[in-house]
């Protein structure tokens, strides 16, 4: 490593330390902090943020970046490329729109076919499930996944999140929903997927910009893989359902495995993105991406967002929002300035299925391992192929390195058609 690059790395390590300290304060703020401490906490986080910003934007760092010009962004072909690059390094707007153009009609077609079939009964999932039992079961599951409790912990928060203070300190939270008692388990699995990625980074990346995930989409691929492709799979529940059924016997005593499996994979177009099922979720994302691109290139005026949103919700999902709270204003991303973010959610779904096909090719007895409650082979594969590299590769580069091709919607389409074809008899 050159002296200049070593000096830059040292300066950025200090910035990373400050951000990690601020993250620790943020985690405490959302979990355990007394309410009266909010004002002081705001000052503390503001001070740390100010120091980190000053260090990162210092003349010394600027001079080093000038001299190490390969840190620079390439010229963009589309104004939206710059926004997208903040979250998906190297991805181009044209690439994302081409991917979604291939995916959209197939998902719309699948959803229409599902809505023509008798709906799955999931009424038994609405019963009261004891919160402590939910907590204990979730802990049992992610311990089986390989979550290392000497390097992490789980707490409660209003909205589930994962936060990393170090490669050796990655914490998660979960929430409990009165009307959706199984939601806690799936949020626990989802956040554990994020945490396993962070915990699997090469230890030599500690205190450097290389620690963490390659991109938000690759990160999301890990959380969605553990939550959906593992946690909503039949082999997973062939192992865990007897214990789960016994734990929540009043509600599930007369519910057989297949009825439970179909219920947790029920498809129903919904207004709210974060509550959407696997088959409909990507359409929520595509709608938002189309509107973002239109706002940036000038073809969509902000004043027209509500009308366009409602029309495309009807076109894609067959439902129209009754108000803006359940429509165009439901997300915090735009008000927070996070333009370019949304596509990462759907891209993560696609990457998860693409990896899944490769994993099953490399580990042909994977389903049998799940039936025995064995997840170590999967975690080892992910650690070796994805986690250890941290941010070393751009997302498209990493996906191609692992699967042999760039992000491809075909595996996800095959996954949805196979899974929901069986569940709904399509």
Whether the CB-CB separation of 107 and 282 falls below 8 Å is answered with: yes
Q: Please, which residues bridge with residue 171 across strands?
A: 163
Quote the CA–CA distance of 261 and 234 in Å, as a whole number.
Answer: 7
Query: Is residue 191 flagged as an active site residue?
Result: yes
What residue ranges in 125-261 does DSSP mark as E strands? 154-156, 162-166, 169-174
Q: Please, which residues bridge with residue 154 across strands?
A: 172
Choose the catalytic residue: 54, 67, 131, 191: 191
In this structure, are strands 169-174 and 162-166 parallel, antiparallel, or unpaired?
antiparallel
Strand order in the sheet with 154-156: 154-156, 169-174, 162-166
Residue with tokens 């007394």: 34
Please work out, in degrees rounded to the nearest 5, the angle formed at the alpha carbon of residue 366 by the alpha carbons of 364 and 371: 140
CA 243, 220, 385, 360 torsion-angle sign? positive
**In this structure, what are the phi and psi dihedrals at residue 325, rounded to the nearest 5 degrees?**
-65, -30
Of the candidates 412, 172, 89, the one whose C-alpha atom is nearest the C-alpha of residue 278 is 412
Residue with tokens 């165009």: 328
Q: 155: left (phi > 0), else alpha (psi -120 to 50), else beta?
A: beta
Which string of DSSP letters, residue by residue, matches 270-326? -S-GGG--HHHHHHHHHHHHHHHHHHHHTSS-GGGHHHHHHHHHHHHHS---SSGGG
Whether the CB-CB separation of 7 and 64 falls below 8 Å is answered with: yes
Whether the CB-CB separation of 353 and 229 falls below 8 Å is answered with: yes
For residues 11-43, one letter each, b for 16 or more C-beta atoms within 10 angstroms of the residue's C-beta and e for the rest, the string is bbeebbbbbbbbbbeebebbbeeeeeeeeeeee
3-state secondary structure of 174: strand
Quote the CA–CA distance of 127 and 405 in Å, as a whole number.
Answer: 45
For the annotated catalytic residues, the residue numbers are: 191
């Amino acid at each position: 490593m050159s002296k200049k690059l070593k000096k830059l790395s040292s300066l950025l390590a200090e910035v990373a330390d400050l951000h990690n300290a601020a993250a620790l304060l943020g985690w405490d703020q959302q979990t355990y902090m007394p309410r009266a401490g909010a004002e002081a906490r705001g000052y503390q986080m503001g001070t740390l943020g100010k120091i980190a910003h000053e260090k990162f934007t210092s003349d010394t760092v600027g001079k080093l970046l000038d001299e190490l010009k390969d840190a620079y962004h390439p010229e963009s072909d589309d104004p939206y490329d710059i926004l997208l690059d903040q979250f998906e390094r190297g991805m181009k707007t044209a690439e994302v729109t081409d991917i979604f153009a291939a995916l959209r009609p197939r998902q719309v077609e699948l959803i229409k076919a599902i809505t023509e079939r008798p709906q799955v009964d999931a009424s038994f999932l609405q019963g009261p499930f004891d919160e402590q039992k939910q907590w204990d079961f979730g802990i049992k599951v992610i311990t089986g996944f390989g979550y290392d409790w000497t390097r992490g912990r789980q707490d409660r928060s209003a909205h589930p999140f994962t936060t990393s203070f170090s490669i050796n300190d990655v914490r998660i939270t979960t929430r409990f929903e009165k009307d959706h008692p199984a939601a806690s388990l799936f949020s626990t699995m989802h956040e554990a997927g994020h945490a396993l990625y962070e915990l699997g980074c090469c230890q030599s990346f500690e205190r450097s910009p290389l620690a963490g995930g390659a991109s938000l989409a690759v990160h999301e691929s890990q959380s969605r893989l553990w939550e959906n492709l593992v946690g909503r799979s039949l082999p997973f529940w062939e192992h865990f359902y007897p214990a789960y059924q016994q734990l929540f016997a009043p509600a599930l005593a007369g519910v057989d495995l297949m009825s439970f499996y179909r219920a947790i994979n029920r498809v129903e177009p919904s207004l709210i993105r974060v509550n959407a099922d696997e088959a409909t979720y990507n359409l929520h994302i595509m709608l938002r991406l189309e509107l973002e691109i239109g706002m940036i290139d000038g073809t969509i005026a902000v004043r027209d967002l509500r009308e366009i949103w409602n029309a495309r919700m009807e076109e894609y999902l067959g439902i129209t929002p009754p108000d803006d709270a359940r429509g165009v204003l439901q997300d915090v991303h735009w008000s927070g300035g996070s333009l370019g973010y949304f596509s990462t959610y759907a891209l993560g779904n696609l990457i998860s299925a693409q990896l899944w096909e490769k994993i099953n090719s490399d580990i042909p007895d994977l389903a049998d391992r799940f039936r025995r409650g064995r997840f170590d082979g999967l975690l080892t594969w992910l650690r070796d192929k994805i986690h250890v590299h941290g941010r070393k590769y751009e997302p498209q580069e990493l996906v191609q390195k692992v699967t042999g091709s760039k992000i491809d919607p075909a595996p996800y389409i095959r996954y949805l058609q196979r899974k929901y074809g069986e569940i709904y008899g399509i």
